[in-house]
Amino acid sequence: MSTAAPARKDFLSVLDFETADLERCLEIAAHVKADRSLGRQAPTAGSLEGRHVAMLFEKASLRTRSTFEIAVVELGGNVVSLQPDAALGKREPVSDVARNLERWVDCIVIRTFSQKVLEEFAAAAPRLRVINALTDDQHPCQALADVLTLREQWGQVKGRTVAYVGDGNNVAVSLVHATLMLGINIHVVSPDGYALPDWAVQQAALAARHGARLRLFTDAADAVAGVDAVYTDTWTSMGQEAEAEQRRQIFAPFQVNDALMAVAKPGALFMHCLPAHRGEEVTAEVFESATSVVFDQAENRLHVQKALLSMLLSGQHH
Ligand code: CP
Ligand code: NVA
């Protein structure tokens, strides 16, 4: 199994991967998932031997932090937890922080607000691998887990259609990238003023393979009619808490409930990156339904991130 490094040193966006990199990442992820029960006997158990991976989280996290920490340890590497107040431009410029870390660690996993900060970090340190663990704009590691889950469910994913219902946010942007790259059609429906950003729509045209299309809708039932999977995310993302009440009202017609799922293809999957808010973006019934794959998505975070770390760090020595 080849773990050849992608052309780009960082993973700030799904679009840092070529389609072939994405395919390879999913293949490696499937292998490491199958091999996990082998523990220290797994073929990848020593892939990060002698490597240090720093973690820097400026926003809350359950899944991303836990799965990255477990991934590094299960690959034989070492985790370095950083304090965000010491490392994101408050005490010294971001570029200085990056150039310090580059001398000590091989890779850094960052969750912050601005995508620009990540780009600055990555540009300042040519030998440091930077992984986006969520910004306001993108959540590429989530999208890797999402498409692995779809592959597991469907086998052949080309030509299927996913509808994303809700805020045109970080999760939506990365999902659009990853689905289109694999030939999956994607529908996005959002309230007026909360649509996918224009830059993401433009990038989608470049990302699409195998004739896959992005279609934008204004009515949730139109977007979901006949689709193979329905995806939603919180109405209020981290950092937007002051808008929560207003958003609850604006997004109310975009709740994923039994009535909406009924217009999708029979047996359509329900997907959510989590954390979920029952009674808001999704009802308890849909969340707990037989076709809900939300915990598969959460589990797959671990496997895709192991694959990503081994790809980015293969052949790179300090
Ligand atoms: N889905 C996801 O990224 O979860 P956390 O915010 O808990 O990391
Ligand atoms: N859109 C959400 C995703 C959380 C994983 C947020 O940014 O808070």
Q: How far apart are CA 293 and CA 271, in angstroms?
A: 6
| 205 Cα to the center of ligand 2, angstroms | 24
Is 128 in contact with 197 (CB distance < 8 Å)?
no
| Pocket mutation for ligand 2, best pick of 137, 138, 171, 294 (most atoms within 8 Å of C-beta) | 171
Query: Out of 273, 297, 303, 305, which one is annotated catalytic?
Result: 273
pLDDT the model gives residue 314: 81
Q: How far apart are CA 299 and CA 303, in angstroms?
A: 7
Q: Is residue 169 within 6 Å of ligand 2 at its C-beta? A: yes
| In the chain, % of residues over pLDDT 70 | 98
pLDDT the model gives residue 317: 43
- 8-state DSSP, 282: B
Name all residues whose Cβ lies below 6 A of ligand 1: 61-64, 134, 142, 273-274
User: What's the CATH number for 14-138+300-313?
Assistant: 3.40.50.1370
For the CA of 167, the closest atom of ligand 2 is 1
For the CA of 65, the closest atom of ligand 1 is 8
Q: Any residues with CB less than 8 A from the CB of 293 and at least 6 apart, and which? A: 149, 153, 269, 270, 271
Q: Is 214 left (phi over 0), alpha (psi -120 to 50) or beta?
A: beta
Q: Is 36 a catalytic residue?
A: no
pLDDT the model gives residue 318: 44
pLDDT the model gives residue 4: 72
Give the number of whichever ligand sits closest to the CA of residue 67: 1
Is 132 in contact with 110 (CB distance < 8 Å)?
yes
Ligand 2, atom 2, residue with closest C-alpha? 237
Q: Name the residue ranges covered by the structural domains of the chain.
A: 14-138+300-313, 142-298
The highest-level CATH class for domain 142-298 is alpha beta
For the CA of 64, the closest atom of ligand 1 is 8
Q: How many residues does the chain have?
A: 318
Peptide bond into 275 cis (omega under 30): yes
pTM of the model: 0.97
Topology alike, domains 14-138+300-313 and 142-298: yes
Q: What is the CA radius of gyration of the chain?
A: 19
Tens of each residue's pLDDT in the chain, 318 residues: 556 788 899 999 999 999 999 999 999 999 999 999 999 999 999 999 999 999 999 999 999 999 999 999 999 999 999 998 887 878 999 999 999 999 999 999 999 999 999 999 999 999 999 999 999 999 999 999 999 999 999 999 999 999 999 999 999 999 999 999 999 999 999 999 999 999 999 999 999 999 999 999 999 999 999 999 999 999 999 999 999 999 999 999 999 999 999 999 999 999 999 999 999 999 999 999 999 999 999 999 999 999 999 999 985 544
